[in-house]
Amino acid sequence: MKYLYVLVFLLFSCSRTEHKQNSKELTESLPSGFSIVNSSSGTKKISASREYMDTVFTITVSLGVDKQISGDDISSAVNSIKSAFEEIRRIQSIMSSHNSSGDIFSINEAHGKAVKISKDTSNVIETAINVSSDTSGAFDITWATYRELYRIKKSPWKPPSGGQIEKLKEYAGFRNISLIKSGKETQVKIGEKTKVDLGGIAKGYALKKAGEILTTDVISGFIVNGGGDLVVSGKGPDRDWIVGIRHPRGKERNSLYLTGSVSHPDSMVAVVTSGDYERFVVYNGKRYNHIINTATGLPSDGAVSATVIGKDAALADALATSLMVSGLKGTAVLKKKYPGYAWMIFDSNLKEHRSENFNKIFKIHVEN
């Protein structure tokens, strides 16, 4: 349900004394697209970027925070980054609704018949159904049932009529999804005219899986940034990683509302934002965004942006999307069922609200 429209900016936390690695041999040994930076303390930062899921993923790792660095450590870190990118690519392949060999494409083309799916897709759909149930459908992967009505990039485009929406309503809704488990095999079955899309959760899952690969004894800390959504672990080269959250109506793309560090008892934590400011169209003075409320068949209007912080990136991804639909009233669900997750939303009047635990988890450095 969201790709580039989420924007949480990563501010690299290295000191001004950092300088590029002067060793010609080391630099030349790195794969294309990788960079390495030394700091005066002897720590190193390695980073690389790749494009997946219609956005840019950047992986940055720190080495040597707690121990001396060897050449083998650098090689190991580079290989871990490569493996993490490959995992993101693999998840994109099986979960893209546009890939004819992937699970989601097969589900949508089965016309109501059961389809065998991978363990990863099963895990994500199961999480999606659970969040849908907890949020009374505010998060719902069957939003894709309405997709053809909201091809807002097509020109000319105009909002669908009430009649067009009503014709599809009975086919939308998470209760049209059934997971059928038998031993180690899982099948999924949806309504004959129902469509699903994992855009509101798959990227979070990819971030989570990439982070698991990067959790090694060699790497002191890392950030995986996928189009502004991220997972963070450990420390940067000289201090905690610093991240920022964009204001939904900031005039500049890089306009930050908050910058700070994340403090969480879990070794890896996600910071995920959903918003109406990246993919939208204005028609007759009204803004139409890409996040669809499946109960009404209309774009979300509960909030203009929602940030969720917690240990599971896939879950945080889905919860942030749910708050775009349910708004402030939906935060009661997070407090009751997901107490370890912090949230911040801007409501439709651009008034900001935070959970009681937000400032405990997100240590604010600068607030604009």
- pLDDT tens readout for residues 329-348: 999 999 999 999 999 999 99
Determine the Cα–Cα distance for residues 110 and 301; give it in Å rounded to an integer. 32
Same domain, 325 and 262: yes
Domain membership of residue 135 (yes or no) is yes
Same domain, 255 and 115: no
- Angle between helix axes 71-95 and 202-214 (nearest 10 degrees) is 160
Percent of the chain scored above 90 by pLDDT? 71
Determine the Cα–Cα distance for residues 221 and 175; give it in Å rounded to an integer. 40
Tell me the CB-side half-sphere exposure of residue 29, using CA atoms within 13 A: 16
In the prediction, which pLDDT does 253 show? Answer: 59
Q: Which of 297 and 42 is assigned the larger pLDDT?
A: 297
Same domain, 117 and 165: yes
**Whole domain around residue 70: which residue ranges?**
8-95+200-367
Q: CB burial class (10 A; 0-12, 13-18, 19+) of residue 112? A: exposed
Determine the Cα–Cα distance for residues 334 and 252; give it in Å rounded to an integer. 31
Counted residue by residue, the chain has a size of 368
Domain membership of residue 195 (yes or no) is no
In the prediction, which pLDDT does 9 show? Answer: 43
DSSP string, 289-344: ES-EETTTTEE--S-SEEEEEES-HHHHHHHHHHHHHHGGGGHHHHHHH-TT-EEE
Domain membership of residue 323 (yes or no) is yes
Q: Which of 334 and 250 is assigned the larger pLDDT?
A: 334
Contact between 276 and 346 under an 8 Å Cβ cutoff? The reply is no
Same domain, 237 and 91: yes
pLDDT reading at 351 higher than 70: yes
Same domain, 46 and 132: no
Same domain, 231 and 276: yes
Same domain, 217 and 185: no
What is the 3-class SS of 103-124, one letter each residue?
HHHHHHCCCCCCEEECHHHHHH
Side chain identity at residue 40, one-letter code = S
Q: Domain ends where: 128, 161, 190?
A: 190
Q: Which residues of 123-151 are buried (b: 16+ CB within 10 A; e: fewer)?
A: ebbebbbebbebbebbbbbbbbbbeebbe
Contact between 91 and 202 under an 8 Å Cβ cutoff? The reply is yes
What is the 3-class SS of 208-226, one letter each residue?
HHHHHHHCCCCCCEEEEEE
pLDDT reading at 20 higher than 60: no
Q: Domain ends where: 190, 211, 246?
A: 190
Residue with tokens 């018949």: 113
Mean pLDDT of 237-259: 83
Confidence at 66, pLDDT banded by 50, 70, 90: low
Contact between 7 and 247 under an 8 Å Cβ cutoff? The reply is no
Same domain, 342 and 218: yes
In the prediction, which pLDDT does 325 show? Answer: 97
In the prediction, which pLDDT does 281 show? Answer: 86
Q: What confidence tens digit (pLDDT) does each residue in 78-120 have?
A: 999 999 999 999 999 999 999 999 999 999 999 999 999 999 9
Domain membership of residue 1 (yes or no) is no
Same domain, 359 and 283: yes
Instruction: Give Cβ neighbours of residue 340 (< 8 Å, ≥ 6 apart).
Output: 310, 311
Paired with 287 in beta bridges are: 282
Q: What confidence tens digit (pLDDT) does each residue in 295-319 have?
A: 999 999 999 999 999 999 999 999 9
36-40, 199-203, 349-353: range with lowest mean pLDDT: 36-40
pLDDT reading at 7 higher than 50: no
Q: Domain ends where: 160, 190, 220?
A: 190
249-253, 288-292, 338-342: range with lowest mean pLDDT: 249-253
| CATH number of the domain bearing residue 60 | 3.10.520.10
Q: Please count the structural domains in the chain.
A: 2
Same domain, 109 and 180: yes
> Which pair of tokens denotes residue 314?
């896939």
Same domain, 340 and 284: yes
Confidence at 10, pLDDT banded by 50, 70, 90: very low
Confidence at 239, pLDDT banded by 50, 70, 90: confident
In the prediction, which pLDDT does 31 show? Answer: 86
CA angle 96, 199, 269 (to 5 degrees): 115
Instruction: Give Cβ neighbours of residue 126 (< 8 Å, ≥ 6 apart).
Output: 179
| CATH number of the domain bearing residue 160 | 1.10.3980.10
Mean pLDDT of 318-326: 97
Domain membership of residue 350 (yes or no) is yes
User: Containing H/E element for 134?
Assistant: helix 119-134
Q: CB burial class (10 A; 0-12, 13-18, 19+) of residue 329? A: exposed
Domain membership of residue 61 (yes or no) is yes
pLDDT reading at 236 higher than 50: yes
In the prediction, which pLDDT does 71 show? Answer: 86
pLDDT reading at 366 higher than 80: no
Contacts of the segment 239-242: beta carbons below 8 A, 24+ positions apart: 239/13, 239/15, 240/13, 240/363, 241/10, 241/13, 242/10, 242/11, 242/12, 242/13, 242/365
pLDDT reading at 26 higher than 90: no
Domain membership of residue 141 (yes or no) is yes
Domain membership of residue 280 (yes or no) is yes
Mean confidence (pLDDT) of the chain: 89
pLDDT reading at 352 higher than 80: yes
